[in-house]
Amino acid sequence: MMARERSPGMKLFLTGVVAAVLIVPLMMVYALIWDRENQSNQAQTQVTAGWGGAQTITGPLLVIPYNGEVTETETVNGVAQQRTRNVRRELFVSPTEQDIETRIDPERRGYAIYESVVYEAEITGTARFALDGDLERLGVERDSLLLDQAELRFGISDPRGLTDGASVRAGGETIQLSPGNGPAATGGSGFSAPVEWDAEAPLSVAFQYGLRGSRSLALVPRGGETAWQVTSPWPHPSFTGSFMPQEPEVGADGFTATYPGITNLALGQRLLSLSDGGNPGMAMAVEAAAYDESYAREMRAAGQNASPVVIGLVDPVDLYSQVDRAVKYGFLFIGFTFATFFMFDVVGGARVSAAEYLLTGTGLVLFFVMLLAFAEVIGFAWAYIVAAGAIIGLVTAYSAAVLGTWRRAGFIGAMLAGLYALLFVLLNLETYSLVIGSLLLFAALAGIMYATRNIDWSAVRRSDEDPREGYTV
């Protein structure tokens, strides 16, 4: 009996419809990645809950209270009268220079199948304070300063991370520390210490403290000149924020980053001020700046007075971002496989139904689900090998039944193996991935055009035999 077969144009249309339908499960894979990444973030939060979050430090800042006068106008019985009353205010003195050294010792901590990077940091430094000519400009008289009630303030965004051994020496003497009352740049968190100073000679301060945190450590520089040197055995740092280190040394044994001199001219700050110019929301913004360079650029463009310098402890294998990038190439796999099936159909004579296209495409989408599932347990590279091997074997075996011969199925398997190998290379070559991908698509399109150059897309063939039978390539 004569069987009416669809035209090549209709087959192409139906193949495109099936490919479009497969966009839905690909989008569901995207949602699954987002959900698993969110669970990972929650697990990391639990790991760091009793340790310390992303830390922001600043200070020391010298705060000197003084007595000022305020003139107020009030109306009494219709007559405007002026009255003067004394008020207590604060003068904020930034160091003329400060030198800070930090040693970061990282550690991986796990929760279930998830890991988070935590660290212990040892922070030591010196600072020097002096009153300059801005005192007169601010309208503050030296005699009104309550120097015996001055206070040094140190900012720690998450004071839970403070460890034993914190000490501060001012003028050569150790002073007692009190919790809280930190600068505005850390939202008032940190610690403080009362200090007496006659303001005749510069005040020298030396300090040291240990700090636990996770993911990143940031410094909000303040003063005439701030120098910060950071060393760590962590081999994968990120440097973001408002200032970059000068020629950082990064290797397999760790890194050394030096910020030689961040001046108050670059910060847009005066050494003396009647207000604490820090941004209270800076501590919350630092974590975003550590992982999002675009956010860091926005902070720099905003010209904020509190300009953080951020060092992030980056995990070099962010499996969720890698799986997410792999899924973006999902339609490439579907397109190449469908194109090969289509060529065998219209050129080689093998019949491929819409259901067979759909089942094959579903198997290709399953690769990304398997990649995500195994990557959380055995790591991305091994998960990629396992998932790719399973799907290549599945699709190759199914292709033998669909296309009628193992020779054709072997071609499908070889093509998929090449695509998976190429995708792995693309995932590790971010800079050239678009160039390589576009060239690959160009070559595929050129091959399809050449193979179908003599096809009559509107022709309908009638046949009384199954073209799969007795036809080989």
How is residue 368 written in tokens? 């990304």
Residues 175-192 have pLDDT tens digits of 999 998 889 888 889 999
Alpha-carbon torsion angle 78, 84, 85, 88, nearest 10: 130
The mean pLDDT of 159-185, rounded to a whole number, is 89
Residues 387-437 have pLDDT tens digits of 999 999 998 988 888 878 888 888 888 888 888 888 888 777 766 667 777
227 strand-pairing partners? 99
The mean pLDDT of 140-163, rounded to a whole number, is 89
Q: What angle do CA 181, 281, 290 make, to 5 degrees?
A: 115
At residue 359, does pLDDT exceed 80?
Answer: yes
DSSP string over 161-220:
GB-TT-EEEETTEEE--EE----GGGTT-EEEEE----SSSPEEEEEEEEEEEESEEEEE
Per DSSP, 187 falls in state T
Pairing of strands 167-170, 173-175: antiparallel
Helix (H) or strand (E) holding 227: strand 225-232
How is residue 276 written in tokens? 């604490």
Question: Which residues have a Cβ under 8 Å from the Cβ of 458 and sit 6 or more positions away?
Answer: 7, 8, 9
Please state the pTM of the whole predicted model.
0.70
How is residue 112 written in tokens? 């279930």
At residue 327, does pLDDT exceed 60?
Answer: yes
Phi/psi-derived region of residue 471, left when phi > 0, alpha when psi is between -120 and 50, beta in every other case: beta
Cβ atoms within 10 Å, residue 24 = 9
What is the Cα 286 distance to its own chain's centre? Answer: 11
